[in-house]
């Protein structure tokens, strides 16, 4: 039996007993993409637990950067960036439940050079920003257009990166807030976590009826922290399976793949994001894996795995994980 059949999604999701339907969320069906994640937008799709959705995501710059001469400060209008598909309504989802999103595949869309990376004024970890205000001159504004396919990301003559795609932004709607798509928080949002690729399941707390799932912001590859502020951003065809776990009351997103479980926190300063992630993981080990709270705390001090998602967004994102081999009962 493979790991997926033993996953929380497959063992606790409502969809385990049915053959899911497959939906297409094309650009045409989506129509207007969204720049906030909240309860005030109209659903584009209604699905049932266990259904699959093939989503045409746009790149974070909404295809406005076509050449290396298309400077972000010229072609973009803040805050209208990082367009999201959705909201997708999941039948039966209510506050106190969880949506499980299994990413099957992320395939590139559109003609090459499909990938875009940019240094944007007042953005990035080693630049003054609107929040970390500085008086220095801006860094140069630079754009890189990059060929990519499922075999590689062709960065330069010298360097090819492996194609390791992930979804940068994934969320249910907050209960009453409508949050711009640059900001991650307890609802998910712009986490920019490299683990959120094919073969991963993300668990998102449901805050309103239907869950209101949003998805977008595919990255062909990304380093820990997304230090310059952008990954290799690209338009994708992303296939997900969505399930519903009733009455699982979690406060922050969680993730599972073949080898680890992970809790995800987003906050500033960065130690607070890390604190959230580790605390949630400890409470999870206590609630569901038979660990004493203090034993979990001391154990993670020996085997905890930390992933820095981003430290460039309005909140920073950290995942704290533990290998599944330590979770099996004796």
Restricting to residues 150-169, name those near its own copies by CB under 8 A: 153, 155-159, 161
Q: Is 284 in the site for its own copies (CB under 8 A)?
A: no
Choice between 17 and 137, CB closer to its own copies: 137
Using the contact rule CB under 8 A, the part of the chain among 19-27, 51-59, 64-72, 305-313 near its own copies is: 305-313
Minimum CB separation of residue 91 from its own copies in Å reads 25
Contact present, 95 and 207 (Cβ < 8 Å): yes
**Residue for token digits 């130690």?**
271
- Dist. CA 142–CA 186, nearest whole Å: 32
Query: How many residues form the binding site for its own copies (CB under 8 A)?
Result: 86
Q: Which H or E run contains 221?
A: none
Name residue, tokens 């606790």.
12
- 120 CB neighbour count, 10 Å cutoff: 24
Stretch that binds its own copies, among 4-12, 48-56, 61-69, 176-184 (CB under 8 A): 176-184
Across 220-315, the runs of DSSP E, i.e. the strands, are 236-245, 254-256, 260-267, 305-310
Tokens, residue 16: 């385990």
Which residues, numbered 74-93, are part of the site for its own copies (CB under 8 A)? Answer: 79
Closest CB 52 distance from its own copies, rounded Å:
29
Residue 136 engages its own copies in binding (rule: CB under 8 A) = yes
C-beta of 105 vs 138, nearer to its own copies: 138
Query: Measured from the CB atom, is 258 or 295 closer to its own copies?
Result: 295
Ramachandran quadrant class, 43 (left: phi over 0; alpha: psi -120 to 50; beta: rest): beta
265, 285, 313, 317: which one contacts its own copies (CB under 8 A)? 265
**Which of 144, 145, 246, 324 touches its own copies by CB under 8 A?**
144
193 touching its own copies, by CB under 8 A: no
The piece of 10-18, 195-203, 238-246, 293-301 that touches its own copies (CB under 8 A) is: 293-301
Rule CB under 8 A: say whether 38 interacts with its own copies: yes
CA nearest to 180, candidates 56, 83, 74: 83
Cβ-based nearer residue to its own copies, 1 or 133: 133
Residue 321: beta bridge partners?
A: 262, 305
Residue 128 binds its own copies, judged by CB under 8 A: yes
Handedness of CA 275, 188, 194, 246 (dihedral sign): positive
Residue with tokens 């951003």: 233
Look up residue 175 and give its two tokens.
């209960």
Binding mask 194-233 for its own copies (x = CB under 8 A): ---------------------------xxxxxxxxxxxx-
The span from the CA of 264 to the CA of 316, in Å, is 10
Among 24, 63, 178, 237, binds its own copies (CB under 8 A): 178
Would you count residue 106 as binding its own copies (CB under 8 A)?
Answer: no
Could you say whether residue 287 binds its own copies (CB under 8 A)? no
The angle that helices 270-288 and 293-303 make with each other, rounded to 10 degrees, is: 130
Which residue in 62, 70, 105, 138 binds its own copies (CB under 8 A)? 138
173 makes contact with its own copies (CB under 8 A): no
Decide: is 171 part of the binding site for its own copies (CB under 8 A).
Answer: no
Please state, as a whole number, how many other Cβ atoms lie within 10 Å of the Cβ of residue 4: 15
Q: In what order do the strands lie in the sheet with 45-47?
A: 45-47, 85-90, 213-219, 166-171, 188-190, 184-185
CB-nearer residue toward its own copies: 248 or 278: 278
User: Tokens in use for 313?
Assistant: 């967004």
Is residue 117 a contact point for its own copies (CB under 8 A)? yes
* 73: contact with its own copies by CB under 8 A: no
């Amino acid at each position: 039996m493979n790991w997926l059949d033993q996953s929380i999604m497959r063992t606790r999701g409502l969809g385990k007993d049915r053959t899911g339907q497959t939906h297409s969320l094309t650009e045409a069906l989506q129509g207007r993409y969204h720049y906030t994640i909240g309860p005030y937008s109209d659903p584009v799709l209604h699905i049932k637990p266990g259904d699959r959705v093939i989503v045409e995501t746009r790149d974070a710059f909404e295809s406005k950067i076509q050449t290396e001469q298309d400077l972000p400060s010229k072609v973009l209008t803040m805050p209208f960036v990082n367009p999201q598909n959705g909201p997708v309504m999941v039948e039966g989802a209510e506050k106190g439940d969880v949506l499980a999103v299994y990413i099957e595949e992320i395939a590139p869309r559109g003609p090459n050079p499909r990938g875009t990376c940019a240094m944007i004024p007042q953005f990035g970890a080693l630049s003054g920003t609107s929040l970390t205000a500085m008086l220095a001159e801006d860094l140069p504004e630079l754009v890189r257009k990059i060929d990519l396919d499922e075999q590689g990301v062709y960065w330069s003559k010298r360097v090819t990166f492996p194609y390791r795609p992930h979804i940068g932004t994934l969320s249910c709607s907050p209960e009453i807030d409508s949050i711009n798509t640059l900001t991650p928080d307890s609802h998910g949002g712009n986490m920019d976590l490299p683990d959120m690729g094919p073969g991963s399941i993300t668990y998102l707390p449901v805050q309103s009826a239907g869950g209101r799932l949003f998805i977008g912001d595919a990255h062909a590859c990304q380093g820990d922290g997304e230090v310059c502020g952008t990954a290799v951003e690209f338009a994708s065809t992303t296939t997900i399976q969505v399930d519903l776990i009733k009455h699982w009351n979690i406060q922050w997103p969680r993730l599972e793949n073949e080898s680890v479980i992970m809790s995800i926190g987003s906050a500033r300063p960065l130690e607070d994001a890390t604190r959230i992630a580790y605390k949630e993981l400890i409470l999870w080990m206590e609630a569901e894996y038979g660990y004493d709270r203090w034993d979990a705390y001391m154990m993670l001090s020996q085997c905890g795995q930390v992933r820095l998602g981003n430290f460039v967004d309005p909140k920073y994102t950290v995942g704290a994980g533990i290998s599944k081999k330590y979770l099996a009962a004796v």
